[in-house]
Amino acid sequence: MFSEISVPSRTIMTPGPVEAHPVALRAMSASILGQFDPAFLQIMDEVKEMIKIPFGTKNEQAFAIDGTSRSGLEAALIALIEPGDKVLIPVYGRFAYLLGEICERAKAEIHYLEKEWDAPFDQETVIEEIKKFQPKIVAMVHGETANGQMQAMEKIGQHCKANDIFFVVDMVATYGGVPLEVDEWGVDFAIAGTQKCVSVPSGLSLITYNDRVEKVLTSRYQKELGLSKDIRNANHISSNYLDLSQLQRYWSEERINHHTEATSMIYGLHEGLRMMIKEGMENVYARHALNDQAIVAGIKAMGLGFYGDLTTKMPTVTPIMIPKGIDGEKVRALMLDEFAVEIASSFGALQGKVWRIGNMGYSSRKSNVLHVLSALEGALNYYGADISKGEAVKAALTIYQK
């Protein structure tokens, strides 16, 4: 016989997933509604409008796609790419290569502009590469969780806009944690997710796109054969499930029967967004910034170093250098087993060299910051690391007392 699951309580301070907001979890336990029930359609309509606020956009199109953040990235890119299209991908961390992986499968001609992961690009460097390569699409990551770095992009976006190039941006790690200006920055297509600063379980991707993108979708629209034999298109989008030309119509007044919506996830999304908006976006950003300052102060006081440029570090992720002679995975395991605190390692060349503390959404709380700092200090002390003892929490409290 199988037993009922017993889920341990954790303090999750990773770059995702994060602790879900209790209000969102309660909403997800509500009764199931049919996907075309008027009560549910009203929830969908409100979600569409709320998604736009953290993106900083007045785009008509903004909605959720069933699937994790990656589903939105893939939907965006396969909607725009036709075989042979040129895509420029500036790489300063792991997730730019994910964009390339998706573009490769869409049969694009990909050009990577690569650099060390310790800092983002100077915008002029990217613009010069755009001029040389002349892509149809520039696909870029705003905040790289692998290294905690954040890319400035307003000049890149405006150059793309002026030269009729599509600018697609992964905002998964920054949406709801830092101010975003999709319209002002010239971003054509922006993608986020539920499992980070929105404080909802993983399972939906949030997207917004402008009229330029919508024209492409309209030109590629093909209605599912079981719904109509008349609307055929030789240039249709390659995926049925992630076909934005149909999904857009599912989320509009047309309400085509594309799929069975994940109603409980939409309930949670509605409440996660509502709680952010109720707090006030400026207050949300200030909370993340304050807790980030406390984390950084605590890590410095402990005598640990940081990976990368602190001036371009995003407030939602802090990359910490693992001290020499210390097994980073043993420290993480002790923190989880004895303190019930989870932090993350990193990827690629940074694996085994860097820990990452997340500071996102409902997890971005003073009590969590003090807990993760004390747990990290305790684990390092247990394994004999050369750190300044008793200083981390004191330094963080000094930030809060100010």
> Which residues line the annotated binding site?
356
The answer to whether the CB of 139 falls within 8 A of the CB of 87 is yes
Closest Cα partner for 12 from 340, 334, 258? 340
Distance CA 233, CA 59 (A): 26
Which residues, in sequence order, are bridge partners of residue 358? 317
Distance CA 202, CA 262 (A): 12
Q: Encode 353-365: b = buried (16+ Cβ within 10 Å), e = exposed.
A: bbbbbbbbbbbbb
Tokens found for residue 246? 């149909």
Annotated binding site for substrate: 356
Residue 194, C-beta contacts closer than 8 angstroms, at least 6 positions apart: 64, 200, 201, 202, 203, 204, 205, 206, 265, 268, 269, 272
Distance CA 22, CA 24 (A): 5
